[in-house]
């Protein structure tokens, strides 16, 4: 089942086609769901993801800068808070149990796949407006929502239960719907309510699909470490 995260997401998702499937159904994701993902691959991913989240929080902070209304500012700043507060705390918790402390996590050297992804998103926001930035941010937030929802329904295996419950849980699903509404509202305001009819639509779809490809590359980086 495809979750409803708004109009722009539905169109971008289908425009991304097989690239989207390669992201949300990567072997790494299957391994998370059925518990067969080697622990070493998961920990490698998680440590890289910690640095990813630091730069992703900067990208969402840029969304505050690119906002034109208080509603947009509040939605973007809530995501910055969720990232710095909750999501990074989950990573610290899991890694602490494996003997990797917060200082060690912060000192992780970024893999090129990691660096490419976050800097691509930040650049999309620096060069463009909030629509460009949100198109590049969307696959990350909403893709994890779709993955979490699917794995939760499938009945996840024990090893990665906590991960699946975080992204498949109602709180995260609500955040995805809020982000979907933020995207639709931001696009309505800047390019009109018929998104696909805008001359900017092709470029925005491209931004989305490039970020989807970088997400698949991120899974692949973790998968290769097994």
CA atoms of 18 and 144, how far apart (whole Å)? 17
In the bound state with ligand VIB, the residue whose beta carbon lies nearer, of 108 and 140, is 140
Residue with tokens 């159904």: 25
Q: Which stretch binds ligand VIB (CB under 6 A): 6-14, 76-84, 98-106, 197-205?
A: 76-84
56 binds ligand VIB per the rule CB under 6 A:
yes
Establish whether 215 is a catalytic residue: yes
What is the CB neighbour count within 10 angstroms for residue 101? 10
With 0-12 / 13-18 / 19 or more C-beta atoms within 10 angstroms meaning exposed / middle / buried, residue 156 is: buried
The C-alpha angle 209, 125, 130, rounded to 5 degrees, equals 90
Annotate 75-141 with DSSP letters as a single string: HHHHHHHHIIIIIHHHHHHHHHHTT--HHHHHTPPPPHHHHHHHHHHHHHHHHS-HHHHHHHHHHHH
211 binds ligand VIB per the rule CB under 6 A:
no
Among 144, 160, 163, 201, binds ligand VIB (CB under 6 A): 144
In the bound state with ligand VIB, the residue whose beta carbon lies nearer, of 91 and 195, is 91
Say which of 72, 140, 146, 176 is annotated catalytic: 140
Residue with tokens 């930040």: 122
9 binds ligand VIB per the rule CB under 6 A:
no
The two three-digit tokens of residue 53, written as one number: 């989240």
218 binds ligand VIB per the rule CB under 6 A:
yes
Mask: binding to ligand VIB, 113-142, rule CB under 6 A, as x and -? ---------------------------xx-
Establish whether 140 is a catalytic residue: yes
* 23-52 binders of ligand VIB (CB under 6 A): 49, 52
CA atoms of 209 and 92, how far apart (whole Å)? 30
Q: Which residue is nearest to ligand VIB (CB)?
A: 140
Among 46, 83, 95, 134, binds ligand VIB (CB under 6 A): 83
Give me the residues that bind ligand VIB (CB under 6 A), please.
49, 52-53, 56, 79, 82-83, 87, 140-141, 144, 215, 218
Active site residues: 140, 215
């Amino acid at each position: 089942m495809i979750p409803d995260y708004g109009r722009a997401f539905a169109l971008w998702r289908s425009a991304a086609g097989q690239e989207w499937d390669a992201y949300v159904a990567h072997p790494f994701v299957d391994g998370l769901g059925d518990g067969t993902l080697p622990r070493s691959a998961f920990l490698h991913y998680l440590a890289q993801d910690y640095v990813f989240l630091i730069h992703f929080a900067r990208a969402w902070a840029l969304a505050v800068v690119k906002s034109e209304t208080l509603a947009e500012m509040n939605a973007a700043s809530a995501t910055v808070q969720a990232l710095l507060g909750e999501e990074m705390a989950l990573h610290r918790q899991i890694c602490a149990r494996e003997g990797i402390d917060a200082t060690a996590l912060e000192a992780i050297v970024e893999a090129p796949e990691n660096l490419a992804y976050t800097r691509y998103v930040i650049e999309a926001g620096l060069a463009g407006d909030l629509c460009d930035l949100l198109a590049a941010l969307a696959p990350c937030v909403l893709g994890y929502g779709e993955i979490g929802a699917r794995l939760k329904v499938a009945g996840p295996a024990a090893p990665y239960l906590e991960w699946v419950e975080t992204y498949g849980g109602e709180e995260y699903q609500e955040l995805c719907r809020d982000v979907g509404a933020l995207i639709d509202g931001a696009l309505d305001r800047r390019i009109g309510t018929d998104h696909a009819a805008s001359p900017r639509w092709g470029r925005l779809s491209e931004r989305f699909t490039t970020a989807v490809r970088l997400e698949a590359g991120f899974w692949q980086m973790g998968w290769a470490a097994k």
